Structure 1
C-alpha cells in the first residue's frame, strides 16, 4: 500500500513559482501498458494451460493464489522488465498488476509474493516439466489459424552463465565460464518460439540433438501431419545422427559444415578461379559459389554440399553447408536459405537480453527449466502485442525493449468506485492512438 508517512518535499522554483511534491497521488501505476499484456494473455490462455499441467496438493479452502494466478503474475512481471521473483514483493499491491491479474485494485487481495513464486518454481516434477515443454509446442502450433504448407525451424544454443553451483552447470572452455547451454528452437520467419530446453554447459552431441528433435517434431506432427519441415542450424548440429534421422523421417535440413582438406580439394578449381578473378579485376572482395558431393567418414553415403568462396585482400575464405534440399543453386542455398538463420540469433537476444531469460539462478535444474518456460511465455505476450501493431507503424518491427518503453511503461491513475474501475492514462501519451487500437483488437469478437 502507499506510504503516507513520507513528508512533502520540494524542488527549485521555476518562473517564480514554488515547486512542491508529495507521494499522495493515489493509485498510480507506472506500468499501465500491462493491461495490453493481460489482454494478450487472456486471448492465448497460457497461464491456464500451464497451470493445468501442475498438480496442486493444497486444500482448496485455504488457497489464496491459484497456480494460474501465480504464473500469470510472473509472466506479466517478466514482460514489464521485472525478471526477479523478489520484484513481486513490491508489485503485489500495484493497481495495474492487480487489474491485469483479474483483481480489483483496492478491495481485492494483493498478488502473490516472492516466497510463493519460489515455492512453485520448485514444485514441479520431471513429468510436469516435460508436459509444460510440450505445451509450448502446442501453443506454437495453435498460433497458426491453419496448418502451414511448410515451416523452417532454426535450432541453436546460447551461453547462460550460472550464478552458483546449480545442477547441470559445467565449465565450458570456449566461454571460460561455468554455464548452461540451453537450446532454442524458433520459427524465424514469424519470430515465434517453439522450444527452449535447459541443458548442461557442453556442446550437444548428435545423440542428444536427435533425441530433442525427435520429441519436438513428433509433437508437432500430431498437429500438422502434412506440413513440410526444414531444420536449419550451424556446424555443430551437422552430426551424422541428426542428418540420418532427418533423412529417415522426411525432414529437410541445411546445416553448416566445418571445412577440411578434402572439402577444400573438391572446390579447389572454383576457388582458384575466384582468387585469380579478384586479382585480375583489382577489387577488394570477390564472392562466388560452388557445389559438390561429399561423404565424411562417419556418413553412410554422399550428400550435397554448397560452398561460398570469398577472395579478398586478406586471403581466401570458404564456408560450406550440407543439405538434402534438391532444388536451388549453391548461391540460393547459402545466401537465401542458410544465412537466414542469422535472424535466430537476434531472437535469442530478445529472449535472453531483453527478457532476462538467463536469470536461471535456482539450484534445481527443473526449477530453472520452469523459469525458461515462464520467460518464453513472456516472449509470447510481447510478440502478440507487437503482432497487433499495424504493419506501416514504426513499432511494428520494434524490439521488446522499445515496445516496453513506448507501450508498457505508461503511467495511469486507477480509481475504483462502487460500480466501476477507471484507468486514466496521461493525456500527452505519444502512442495513445496506437494503444487504443491494440486494446480494441484484443476484444473478443461479438456474436
Structure 2
C-alpha cells in the first residue's frame, strides 16, 4: 500500500527547504505538522502523516540518471515558463561554486586553490533577472571544455521554444577554452569570458598599461583605461577580440584584466564594465542559494543522490525567487535575501484549528509587516480562484 505519492514527498522536501529545514532528518520532526500537511495537500485531520527521514533518504538514492535528466529539463522549463513572451536576450551566467566534502562523496576531489576536498557544481542563472536556470553536480576541479560544452548543449536544446532569442554565455577565465569559443560560434551563441593574463597579452597591451601609469603619475588619482585588440593563441582556431582593463589604484598599483569576446562592434569600456562585470551579481544569487537555502548540503555518498538534492534546492530557489519578484514586488521585502523573507514572512506564528472539511490558521492580530502578509494572501487567493 502506497502511503505517499511522489508529488507529496518532493513537495514536502521543497517546502521544508524553503522554511530552512533542509536535512532529511527534519522530516521526522514535521511529518505531523499541520502547516506542512496543508501545503502538501493532506488534510491535517485525517491522521495520515508526511514522509519520514528513511522514506526521504530512499527517494534520494532511488533516482536513475534518466530521471535526473528529466528533472534537469523540468527546471529549465520552469525558468522558460516565467516569460509571458519570448525575451530578446538571455544571459547565461555559469559559475562553479564550492561544496565542502567531509566524507567519501563520489566526485570529491582535493582542490589546491581551496585547500579542501570538495565538489564544485555548476550554478546557471539568468544574468539579467537572477532566475535560476539549473544546477549540475561536478567534481571539485576547474571545469573542462567537455563539461562546459555538454552543459551549454543541453540548455541550448531548449532554445527551440524561443528561436529568435539571443543567448549570451558569460563566465570567468576558467571557462575560456578554444572548444567553448568554437561551440558558441557554431551554435549562434555570443560569449564574453574572462581571459587569463600571459606575457603575450601583456606585450600586446603594453602601451595601454603605460598610458594608465602615466595618467596616474600626472594626476595622482586612481584611473582606468580600456583598450581592445585582436589576438590568437596557438590553440585557437582563429583570432578573437580581447578587451583589456587597466586599473591603477590610489597607491599606484596597476591591476590588468582581460576578457575574450565575440562582440565585435561594442565599445571596450561598455563590454567590460557593463556586460562582463554584470556577472558579479551571480555571487549574490549563489549567496541566496547557499546561505538562504543551504544548497551545499551535498553529504550523500552517491553523486546521483547529491544531484537529486541540489535539484530540490534549485526548485526551492525558483519558488522563493518567484515569491520575491512577483508577490513581494513594491514592498520592503522586494530586494530582501531569502533568509530574511523566511524569517519575517514565512515564520509568522499561528494557531491551527483543524475542522472536518477545512483547516483554519488564526494569525496574530498585529505583527510586523502585516500589510505585506495581507497583500500576499490576497494575491494568492486571486490566483487560486
- Which of 317, 324, 333 is 2:262 aligned to? 324
- Which of 116, 127, 135 is 2:66 aligned to? 127
Distance 1:358 1:445 in 2: 33
**Matched residue, 2:310:** 372
2:45 paired with 1:112: no
**Matched residue, 1:417:** 355
Distance 1:311 1:391 in 2: 40
Distance 1:439 1:245 in 2: 47
2:115 paired with 1:176: yes
- The 5-angstrom pairing of residues 399-418 of structure 1 reads 399-418=337-356
- Which of 234, 237, 241 is 1:300 aligned to? 237
**Matched residue, 1:161:** 100
How far is the alpha carbon of 1:310 from its aligned partner?
1.2
How far is the alpha carbon of 1:254 from its aligned partner?
0.1
Paired residues of 2:351 and 2:361 also in contact (CA < 8 A):
yes
CA displacement 1:183-235 (0-9 Å, x = unmatched): 011002111111100011111111221121112211x2132122100000000
Distance 2:108 2:382 in 1: 45
CA displacement 1:360-383 (0-9 Å, x = unmatched): 111111010000000011111111
SS of the counterpart of 1:290?
strand
- The 5-angstrom pairing of residues 51-200 of structure 1 reads 62-200=1-139
For structure 2, the residue ranges without an aligned partner over 5 or more in a row are none
**Cα 1:63–1:407, aligned 2, differ >3 Å: closer, same or farther?**
same
How far is the alpha carbon of 1:421 from its aligned partner?
2.1
**Matched residue, 1:286:** 223
Paired residues of 2:181 and 2:191 also in contact (CA < 8 A):
yes
CA displacement 1:106-164 (0-9 Å, x = unmatched): 33411111011001111111111111111111111111111111111100101111131
Paired residues of 2:22 and 2:293 also in contact (CA < 8 A):
yes
For structure 1, the residue ranges without an aligned partner over 5 or more in a row are 1-61
Q: How high is the TM-score relative to the length of structure 1? A: 0.84
SS of the counterpart of 1:112?
coil
CA RMSD of the aligned region, Å?
1.4
Distance 2:191 2:79 in 1: 20
- Which of 316, 335, 352 is 1:397 aligned to? 335
Paired residues of 1:388 and 1:438 also in contact (CA < 8 A):
no
**Matched residue, 1:227:** 165
Runs of 4+ displaced beyond 4 Å: 444-447
Q: How many residues align?
A: 384
**Matched residue, 2:276:** 338
**Cα 1:446–1:214, aligned 2, differ >3 Å: closer, same or farther?**
closer
2:296 paired with 1:387: no
Paired residues of 1:388 and 1:441 also in contact (CA < 8 A):
no
Distance 2:39 2:333 in 1: 23
Q: Decide which structure has the larger Cα Rg and report it.
A: 1
- Which of 142, 145, 148 is 1:209 aligned to? 148
Distance 1:173 1:297 in 2: 27
Distance 2:384 2:306 in 1: 41
Q: How high is the TM-score relative to the length of structure 2? A: 0.97
Paired residues of 1:389 and 1:395 also in contact (CA < 8 A):
no
